[in-house]
Structure 1
Amino acid sequence: MQIDFHYYGVYVLCRAAGIKPEESSIIAYASQHTDDAIYSHELIFESGGRFQQQMSAHKILDLGVFKKEVAYEILMPFHFLPGVEGDDFFEQICCRQNSKTAKEVLRDTLNTLEKPYGLHRLGIALHMYADTWAHQNFSGLRKYNNEVEGLKPENRKYSLLEEFGANIFSELLPPIGHAQAFTCPDEPYLIWSYKPYKREGSIRIDNLSRFMDAGRHIYEFLSKEVREQIPHIFKDDLKPWKRIEDRLRYVFAMRGTQQERIKTWERKLAEGYFGFQAAVKYDEREWFQKAVTVLDKSNMKYDKKEGFSHSDWKYFHDALTMHKFFVKNELLPKYGIIT
């Protein structure tokens, strides 16, 4: 999924469930920032102390993305959670829609909601949970079961030359995650088809149906389990799913580039289209810039700003650490998956 679900969609789902605007913003930002935390270098502060960043994403145009370490440390815990179905290891690490492992992660987040990083961890978990719909049947490891043949987007405008080039390029990419399917699984409006590994024919996928189903499950989790656990972050009565369902579907179905879709979300939120008005805009550097002063970027000189210890940026990285530890050391080993 892309920013339209992970940020704007999650924000709308939080507000519709009755969560206060400030807390909704934190959850939505953490959800989207899971796709943007691409740095792992240590920050040495000029005034003393240090901070170790955690990665939950990787630069796409970096050959390092194909390393096994990236698969085990980043892709599996945050984007392609193993669904633990099937007979062998490589089937079991495939991501499955609304899997029992994903639901176990959500349940564990309930135990840390009162922690300073609780909402940040919730946002990270919602990102991972939503991706089980978009990334189903793919795995984070470079393996044959990620091979894609005959990729065909149905409702995206391609010239014949572009479509031919896309299919050639698709076959040249390594089978890791959904790399050979490009962004087809992540665009909310798209209907597309492909022939999976060892399958007779192609399968046809309606992303809009997947996105709406993921949204409904997240809405129910927020409005029931999360509300029961930390009722103080809820201000408004929840809006019934039926009241927002058609509006969400309408916006998710809008075709266009990612930037065009972002503008649509921001305009609809400002207009009060979902039953509340909000001026929200995602800036991937916002939390970092509020927490850290860059003294000399070329020489990697930094210092912490006042309030760093309770900044959203620090809490987000704390939450990444907790999320990954739970997935790799507690959850997956129960099913014999050692990563």
Structure 2
Amino acid sequence: MQIDFHHGVTYVCARLAGFEHREASVVAYCAQYVDDSTQAGLIRFDNGAMFDRISSAHKLLDYRNFKELANYKVWIPFHFLPGNGGLPAGQDPPGSFIEKLICRPNSPVAQAMVRECIDQRDRSYGLHRLGITLHVFADTWAHQGFAGVSHVINNARDLVDGNNNPDQNLKNRLSNFFISGALPLGHGTVLSNPDRPYLRWGYTNGRGEKISRDNPKDYLTAANEMCKAMQRYQLGDPNAPVEGLLDADKATIAALFESTRGEGDSRHQQWLAHIAQGAFSFGPARVSYVAKGYGSWKHQALGIVGEGDRKETRLAYSPSFLTSDWKLFHDALQAHHFYVIHDLLPQYGICVA
């Protein structure tokens, strides 16, 4: 999924789940920032204080950048959550280990991840972790059928459009890419097809199985399940019976998935415009997202723009850093990563770096 969903739709679902503007903005910012947090390492301050962080994306989250994308520490916990074949803990899908790594929509693994996030909601970074969790949760629909490792299962071919005709448009786009030996990794062989909400398409996977994808349907299901997760977060009960999206808002979201076209940034601006115009039951709201530079969370926390956080740099320290959204996001990022790799996946017999 891209910024239109991870930021725009997440904000909408948060408001519809009962969050006020400020909290919904934090959740939505974090959900998108997972794709934009590309730097890792130590921050050094002029008073001797230090802060360490990990990244959740690459400098170019681009399907041409296959060498960089081979970093499983980013790919598996943040973008391609293993699905264990859709089976609960203690059960193994038939076949080899790769079957456990393939991403599955709303899998028991994903549901356990959401429950843990709700159980940890009282942490200082609880709201920020919710945004990160929702990013990973939503991607289980978009990235279903693919794995965050280099494996033949990802080797899609015979791409077709929604009418089952050969997808010449995708073939033309693929011809402009230099495909390296690192393929097949993730859904690189189908580029951004899984990330476009309006697209209906299909392919033959690395096992020769014909797969049909209906992105509008999958995205609507993801939005509804995200809303339920946030309603449960509000209640502090991961098992609470909740309603999800109201019919009128669900219909609006479904219509926008179908009609909002163009590239990710363009679709994002269209979603923000609809939010500002009051297209949803919570009324009009002004929402923005600044990934880097002036006005970004990083700028607000560290007072820098660009690459001012290099190893040799000593930044001016302010006590407000400890409660800044940027720091809390990175605290949540580390908590999520540790939980997924060391606690969650081992319950399903999955050991990854």
- TM-score norm. by structure 1 comes to 0.89
Residues 1:120 and 2:123 are matched in the alignment: no
User: 2:125·2:331 contact (CA, 8 Å) conserved in 1?
Assistant: yes
2:326 match: secondary structure = helix
**1:302 paired to 2:315:** yes
**Which residue of structure 1 aligns with residue 115 of structure 2?**
107
Correspondent of 1:177 among 186, 194, 200: 186
Q: How does 1:1-339 map to 2 (within 5 A)?
A: 1-60=1-60, 62=65, 64-67=67-70, 70-71=71-72, 73-85=73-85, 86-87=93-94, 88-154=96-162, 163-168=170-175, 172-173=179-180, 174-200=183-209, 202-223=210-231, 225-229=232-236, 241-253=246-258, 254-275=260-281, 276-285=283-292, 286-294=296-304, 297=308, 300-339=313-352
| SS at 1:102 equivalent | helix
Partner SS for 2:121:
coil
Counterpart of 2:90 in structure 1 is: none
Paired with 1:196 and 1:300, the residues of 2 have a C-alpha distance of 48
Q: Which amino acid aligns with 1:65?
A: E
The SS at the match of 1:255 is: coil
Q: Residue type of the partner of 1:292? A: L
Give the deviation of 1:66 after TM superposition: 4.1
On the 8 A contact 2:53/2:334 being kept in 1, the answer is: no
Q: Is the 8 A contact 2:148 2:185 kept in 1?
A: yes
Amino acid at match of 1:265: W
Partner SS, residue 136 of structure 1: coil
Contact 1:170/1:180 (8 A) holds in 2 = no
Letter in 2 for 1:332: L
- Partner amino acid for 1:303? A
- Give the direction of change, closer, same or farther, for the CA distance of 1:13–1:113 in structure 2 (3 Å limit): same
- CA distance 1:163–1:63, shift in 2 (3 Å): closer
Task: Tell me, in whole angstroms, the C-alpha distance in 2 between the residues paired with 1:245 and 1:77.
Answer: 29
SS of the residue corresponding to residue 303 of structure 2 reads strand
1:216/1:241 contact within 8 Å kept = no
Flag the 1:199–1:64 CA change in 2: closer, same or farther, 3 A.
Answer: closer
Q: Is the 8 A contact 2:66 2:185 kept in 1?
A: no
In the superposition, relative to structure 1, how do residues 171 and 144 fare at CA in structure 2: closer, same or farther (>3 Å)? farther
Letter in 2 for 1:80: F
Cα deviation code 1:190-235 (max 9, x no counterpart): 11221111225x3221100000000111112222x212118xxxxx
Distance of 1:23 and 1:16 partners within structure 2:
12
Q: Which AA in structure 1 matches 2:115?
A: R
- Same amino acid, percent of matched pairs: 34
CA distance in 1, matches of 2:271, 2:143: 23
* Counterpart residue number, 1:235: none
What amino acid is aligned across from residue 282 of structure 1 in structure 2? Y
* Gap regions ≥5 residues in structure 2: 86-92, 238-242
Distance 1:239 1:220 in 2: 5
What SS does structure 2 have at the residue aligned with 1:192?
A: strand
Q: Cα offset for 1:176?
A: 0.6
Structure 1: which 5+ residue stretches go unaligned?
231-237
User: What's the CA shift for 1:108?
Assistant: 0.4
Report the structure, 1 or 2, having the larger helix content: 1
Decide whether aligned partners of structure 1 residues 100 and 259 sit closer, same or farther in structure 2, where only a CA change above 3 A counts: same
Amino acid paired to 1:333: P
Question: After TM superposition, where is structure 1 displaced by more than 6 Å over at least 4 residues in a row?
Answer: none
